[in-house]
Amino acid sequence: MTNENSKNLRIAIQKKGRLFDASEQLLKKCGITFKKEKNQLISTADNFPIDIVFVRDDDIPDMVSKNGICDLGVIGQNELFEKQPDCDNVTSVIGMNEGTCRLSIATPAGMDYQGSQSLNGKKIATSYPEVLEAFLKANNIDAEIINMAGSVEVAPVIGMADAICDLVSSGRTLKENNLVERDIIMESQAVIIQNKNIAPEKQDLLNILMTNIQEVLKEEVDKPLPQNMQQIINKPQIETVKSTPAETFQSLAQKTVNANTAAPVLAPAMSIARK
């Protein structure tokens, strides 16, 4: 079943993990309610024409990239940048200010580190080989990338690598493994991503949803449902949306653009700030 013939929007969110709560909360704060049993992988909202698909975060960029599979997704920028080369059709639309972290180079505390050039000839373990490769290329560093699916911090301890490139938030994991953060490759936060070729008949729904998401993210407080959302929740048929006067949608679309301009997604990575 693809989304091409469905009137519903479809959003992919993490099934479980660090971004699930933030994704669920965001939809709830927009007034969207849905049920999710433990092993349920897709749910249609009770009161808004949207399907929520629960998957691993690694799969979300690809799902949103393929036209007609998922229209939207919630993903960390780190994951998006890793997958971006294969995902031309995806664009980030809103930063959520959740899941904030940084993708950093770290080395054992005892290593004589004189800046990123000290990585020349070294082995670096990471779950983000694409982003790391871009960083190495941009800095003319010749190093070997060791791919690992997780627990990257153990690599220097067991002699598998000289350094790591991994996500850091509190810094506790690095400390516990006697590693020191050296260079920040990118700052990251959860973002809402969107397929660039949303079916025209879904555009009005998308505008309504994005406007409400923007408002929720801006205000960060519980508030009565916005009027346009309430209308749909009371009458969930898509025809209700289509019967809304065109100028309302025009202004919604305009508002979305303005809100995006006012609160752009964090400037992308590769701002290489040496610590």
Q: Give me the residues that bind ligand PRT (CB under 6 A), please.
A: 14, 17-19, 56-58, 76, 78-79, 99, 101, 166-173, 188
- Taking the least distance from each CB to ligand PRT, the nearer of 21 and 142 is 21
Interacting partner of 50 out of ligand PRT, Zn ion, none (Cβ under 5 to 8 A depending on kind): none
- Taking the least distance from each CB to Zn ion, the nearer of 57 and 166 is 57
Interacting partner of 78 out of Zn ion, ligand PRT, none (Cβ under 5 to 8 A depending on kind): ligand PRT
CB atoms within 10 A of CB 153: 19
Q: Residue 251, exposed/middle/buried by CB under 10 A (0-12, 13-18, 19+)? A: middle
Q: Which helix (H) or strand (E) holds 61?
A: helix 60-65
For CA atoms 50, 51, 56, 61, give the dihedral sign.
negative
Question: Which residue in the shown chain puts its C-beta closest to ligand PRT?
Answer: 76
69, two tokens: 């599979």
- Taking the least distance from each CB to ligand PRT, the nearer of 51 and 57 is 57
DSSP bridge pairs for 164: 106, 125
Q: Can you tell me the distance from the alpha carbon of 216 to that of 273, in angstroms, rounded to the nearest whole number?
A: 31
- Taking the least distance from each CB to ligand PRT, the nearer of 9 and 74 is 74
Interacting partner of 122 out of Zn ion, ligand PRT, none (Cβ under 5 to 8 A depending on kind): none
CB of 100 to ligand PRT, least distance (A): 7
- Taking the least distance from each CB to ligand PRT, the nearer of 146 and 252 is 146
145, two tokens: 């990338």
Cα angle vertex 93, ends 87, 98, to 5°? 100
CB of 8 to ligand PRT, least distance (A): 23
CB of 15 to ligand PRT, least distance (A): 6
CB 10 within 8 A of CB 3: yes
Half-sphere exposure of 85 (CA within 13 A, CB side): 7
- Which parts of this chain interact with Zn ion (CB under 5 A)? 57-58
CB of 243 to ligand PRT, least distance (A): 39
Q: Can you tell me the distance from the alpha carbon of 40 to that of 241, in angstroms, rounded to the nearest whole number?
A: 28
Classify 136 as helix, strand or coil: helix
CB of 26 to ligand PRT, least distance (A): 15
- Taking the least distance from each CB to ligand PRT, the nearer of 14 and 65 is 14
Q: Can you tell me the distance from the alpha carbon of 129 to that of 225, in angstroms, rounded to the nearest whole number?
A: 43
CB of 249 to ligand PRT, least distance (A): 33
Interacting partner of 188 out of ligand PRT, Zn ion, none (Cβ under 5 to 8 A depending on kind): ligand PRT
Interacting partner of 169 out of ligand PRT, Zn ion, none (Cβ under 5 to 8 A depending on kind): ligand PRT
Amino acid letter at 245?
P
- Taking the least distance from each CB to Zn ion, the nearer of 46 and 86 is 86
Q: Can you tell me the distance from the alpha carbon of 275 to that of 272, in angstroms, rounded to the nearest whole number?
A: 9
CB of 125 to ligand PRT, least distance (A): 12
